[in-house]
Amino acid sequence: MTTPNPSQGTLADSIPRTFEALRNHVIERHGMLPKRLAQVAKFALDHPDEMALNTVAELSAAAGVQPSALVRFAQSLGYSGFSELQGVFRSRLRDRWPDYQERLTKIQNETGGDADSSSVLGRFVETSMRSLARLPESISGEAFDAAVSLLARARTIYILGQRRVFPVAAYLSYMFGKLEMQHVLLDNFGSMIDIQAGSMRANDVLLVITFTPYTPVTVEIANQAAARGVPLVAITDSVFSPIASLTGARLEVVESDLGSFRCLTATLTLAMGLAVVSAERRRTVGESPSNS
Amino acid sequence: MTTPNPSQGTLADSIPRTFEALRNHVIERHGMLPKRLAQVAKFALDHPDEMALNTVAELSAAAGVQPSALVRFAQSLGYSGFSELQGVFRSRLRDRWPDYQERLTKIQNETGGDADSSSVLGRFVETSMRSLARLPESISGEAFDAAVSLLARARTIYILGQRRVFPVAAYLSYMFGKLEMQHVLLDNFGSMIDIQAGSMRANDVLLVITFTPYTPVTVEIANQAAARGVPLVAITDSVFSPIASLTGARLEVVESDLGSFRCLTATLTLAMGLAVVSAERRRTVGESPSNS
DNA sequence: AAAATTATGAAACAACAATTCCATTTAAAT
DNA sequence: ATTTAAATGGAATTGTTGTTTCATAATTTT
């Protein structure tokens, strides 16, 4: 791609920007460091979490070193000071996620120069991956299970997602169709969403997706459904969503955003998972939709 | 001012020391908080990572609030100040690791087991990430650039994506709207796509998204457009796509699929990048849409 | 072994962060 | 409508942090 062979060279060593790079760098020259600096180096690699969160004073005390030794250590690596070094440890704390870490740093390296537009694509990919990595954390097994069993039991699934999240709703409609699960996409054509939603019954389920800023019509329909005893499965981005109080099962997705645009990747992936697992559950468990 | 010593509490409510406790505490009384404090509360729970690592100044800027509001928020919860509150967020960051690792290894081991449904979600996440990781490799900088400059120059962008990829088309429509770029979503309502596409001219661009199995109507419209001299930007999944021969700029996305379902995450991310970069280019370079 | 160089410890310093204070606005109660 | 209380924004303040300095100690070089 863009960068043919960026690092490896012994010349012009750039200062390490990722924890992995820093680690290798330090290990490599650990032997030829002065005593106190070597001590700092060892401490830093042994206690990366502390390095990220504590102050110079605390760290120096913990490492049995003078504060200045920490600053010197950072500067000897090429950083302007300790704070810059700490930044590396902090980003590690933010981004650490299994296995994919190396992949991410690879992406970061490959898109090092912000000059050309393809690197922007790299940033988008990075953001999307970060969203995805957080998804399993933010969705508890119980919540997911609850949602799945509601969907598996439903006679008809009504899908409600307007504006920004409409693509997710559309995709769900496509999948449920392929999975041969009866569903209705509340797309509000001709502003007739109330008519479309009019046939919801208590043995159906309303699958509602809503993010800030919450589309009024979505909130309204969800409220009506709840009032009529229709179980709700909600995919939302905050515990403060206006439909939080009335949901049967609530799944919270934290999407990172790039610029002013929130990406939908995690939400889409969650939707996919929900649809597939619900369909599986309906078949294997033989939970046929309840008929009243 | 609220309370220097926390005697206002209903009963022996101690100050939350864990993130979970804090979270519940805040959720509970979110409704009865003053506006600005509620804003802070929402921001804090929506961006816990930032809360752990950034300074009051940075956070207040990000939340659109005065620094003092953050301090007040902390104090209203009973903490001595912001720093003490931040401690809770920091410990969350430290402790997040263990159960996360456990969960992931579980995911990796149970590659085939349908036992726990949340692990299925993990597999979906993994699949999506795989798609994303491949994206920067498969999109060459030149192709991306070509696509961007076509889109930036276009008077009106016609978006064409049917069936499986319709969500991507819908999302593009949303984004172009937000970016204030003139566009038309060819959604084929009432089977009137030929009418919708009828107004395309040579200074427009047709942005077409199509994957196997190629929807006939998509191919047809793309061919008509090409015949009339409308430049094409194509997002497709193969060099053998039936529209490969007639595209101005072609972007190939390789999406991995899970089960029989191809995920759309990489495509969606690419679409996002295309839209944002095109809009940027149009503004910065001043490439005003060409008028005939 | 003496000189020069480098590393180290401790304290002084400058920068910055969190906090407090107060004037002003907004909401509630009379 | 008037008064009272609460909430808010913005600047001043205080405390802490990271950094620099410099004298001393330890190495290395001649």
Task: Measure in Å the smallest separation between the Cα of A220 and chain B Cα atoms.
Answer: 19
Decide if A135 and B129 are in contact by the 8 Å CB cutoff: no
Q: Is the pLDDT of residue B1 over 50?
A: no
Q: Which nucleotide is nearest to B38 (CA to C1')?
A: D7
Backbone dihedral region of B140: left (phi > 0), alpha (psi from -120 to 50 degrees) or beta?
beta
Task: Tally helices (H) and strands (E) across chain B.
Answer: 12, 7
Centroid of chain to Cα A262: 11
| Per-residue model confidence (pLDDT) at position A207 | 98
**pLDDT digits over B128-159, tens only?**
887 787 787 778 888 899 999 999 999 999 99
Instruction: List residues bridging with B158 in a β-sheet.
Output: B184, B206
Q: Is the pLDDT of residue B290 over 70?
A: no
Decide if B174 and A168 are in contact by the 8 Å CB cutoff: no
Per CB-CB distance under 8 Å, the chain A contacts of B121 are: 135-136, 139, 144, 269-270, 273, 277
Q: Which nucleotide is nearest to A34 (CA to C1')?
A: C7
> Other CB atoms closer than 10 Å to residue A75's CB: what's the count?
14
Residue linked to tokens 């500067």? A75
Residue B220 parent element (H or E) = helix B216-227
CA atoms within 13 A on the CB side of A55: 4
Our measurement of CA A68 to C1' C3, in angstroms, reads 28
Distances (CA, A) of B165 to A71, A88, A271, B1, B138: 53, 39, 15, 55, 19
Q: Is the pLDDT of residue B53 over 80?
A: yes
**Strand C-proximal residues, CB under 7 Å?**
A 34-37, 65-69, 72; B 55-57, 67-68, 71-72, 74-75, 80-84, 86
Q: For strand D, is any atom closer than 7 Å to the CB of B94?
A: no
Query: Are A148 and B117 a contacting pair, CB within 8 Å?
Result: yes
Going by their DSSP bridges, the two strands B157-160 and B205-210 should be labelled as parallel
Show the tokens assigned to A182. Answer: 């009866």
| Per-residue model confidence (pLDDT) at position A168 | 97
Residues B258, B131: Cα–Cα separation, whole Å? 11
Query: Are A252 and A238 a contacting pair, CB within 8 Å?
Result: yes
**pLDDT digits over B239-287, tens only?**
667 887 787 898 988 787 666 677 899 999 999 999 988 988 888 766 5
Decide if B133 and A125 are in contact by the 8 Å CB cutoff: yes
Nucleotides of C under 7 A from a protein CB: 6-11, 16-21
Among B263, B256, B132, B215, which residue's Cα sits nearest to residue A276?
Answer: B263
Decide if A141 and B107 are in contact by the 8 Å CB cutoff: no
Closest Cβ opposite residue B128 in set A122, A261, A265: A265
Q: For strand D, is any atom closer than 7 Å to the CB of B70?
A: no
Q: How buried is residue B141: exposed, middle or buried, by Cβ count under 10 Å (0-12/13-18/19+)?
A: middle
| Per-residue model confidence (pLDDT) at position A3 | 30
> Other CB atoms closer than 10 Å to residue B282's CB: what's the count?
21
Q: For strand D, is any atom closer than 7 Å to the CB of B175?
A: no
A181-185, B19-23, B32-36, B115-119: least confidently modelled range = B115-119
Alpha-helix runs per DSSP H in chain A: 19-28, 35-46, 48-53, 56-63, 67-76, 82-95, 100-110, 118-138, 141-153, 166-178, 193-196, 216-227, 265-284
Query: Are A181 and A157 a contacting pair, CB within 8 Å?
Result: yes
**pLDDT digits over B68-104, tens only?**
999 999 998 989 899 899 999 888 877 654 433 333 3
| Per-residue model confidence (pLDDT) at position A209 | 97
Per CB-CB distance under 8 Å, the chain A contacts of B103 are: 136-137
| Per-residue model confidence (pLDDT) at position B113 | 39
String of DSSP letters for B20-52: HHHHHHHHHTSTTS-HHHHHHHHHHHH-HHHHH
**Which domains does chain B carry?**
19-90 (1.10.10.10), 138-284 (3.40.50.10490)
Decide if A118 and B107 are in contact by the 8 Å CB cutoff: no
Nucleotides of D under 7 A from a protein CB: 6-11, 16-21, 27
**pLDDT digits over A150-196, tens only?**
999 999 999 999 999 999 999 999 999 999 999 999 999 999 999 99
> Other CB atoms closer than 10 Å to residue B125's CB: what's the count?
27
Centroid of chain to Cα B158: 22
| Per-residue model confidence (pLDDT) at position B86 | 92
| Per-residue model confidence (pLDDT) at position B288 | 55
Parts of chain A with a pLDDT under 70: 1-13, 95-119, 257-260, 285-292
Instruction: List residues bridging with A184 in a β-sheet.
Output: A158
Query: Are B213 and B165 a contacting pair, CB within 8 Å?
Result: no
Residues B49, A137: Cα–Cα separation, whole Å? 13
Phi, psi of B252 (to 5 degrees): -100, 125
| Per-residue model confidence (pLDDT) at position B213 | 82
Give Dmax (Cα) for chain B: 78
Our measurement of CA B72 to C1' C26, in angstroms, reads 18
- Cis link prior to A213 (omega < 30° from 0)? yes
Going by their DSSP bridges, the two strands A261-262 and A257-258 should be labelled as antiparallel
| Per-residue model confidence (pLDDT) at position A105 | 43
Q: For strand D, is any atom closer than 7 Å to the CB of B55?
A: no
Reported residue count of chain B is: 292
Q: For strand D, is any atom closer than 7 Å to the CB of A14?
A: no
Phi, psi of B30 (to 5 degrees): -65, -40
Decide if A268 and B263 are in contact by the 8 Å CB cutoff: yes
> Other CB atoms closer than 10 Å to residue A41's CB: what's the count?
20
Q: For strand D, is any atom closer than 7 Å to the CB of B8?
A: no
**pLDDT digits over B221-249, tens only?**
999 999 999 999 999 886 667 887 787 89
Residue linked to tokens 């250590």? A73
SS3 assignment, position A233: strand
Residues A262, A128: Cα–Cα separation, whole Å? 9
| Residue B203 binned pLDDT confidence (cut-offs 50, 70, 90) | very high
End-to-end CA distance of chain B: 65
Decide if A268 and B270 are in contact by the 8 Å CB cutoff: no
Residue range B49-62: average pLDDT?
Answer: 89
Query: Are B248 and B146 a contacting pair, CB within 8 Å?
Result: yes
| Per-residue model confidence (pLDDT) at position A12 | 35
Per CB-CB distance under 8 Å, the chain A contacts of B30 are: 240
Centroid of chain to Cα A283: 30
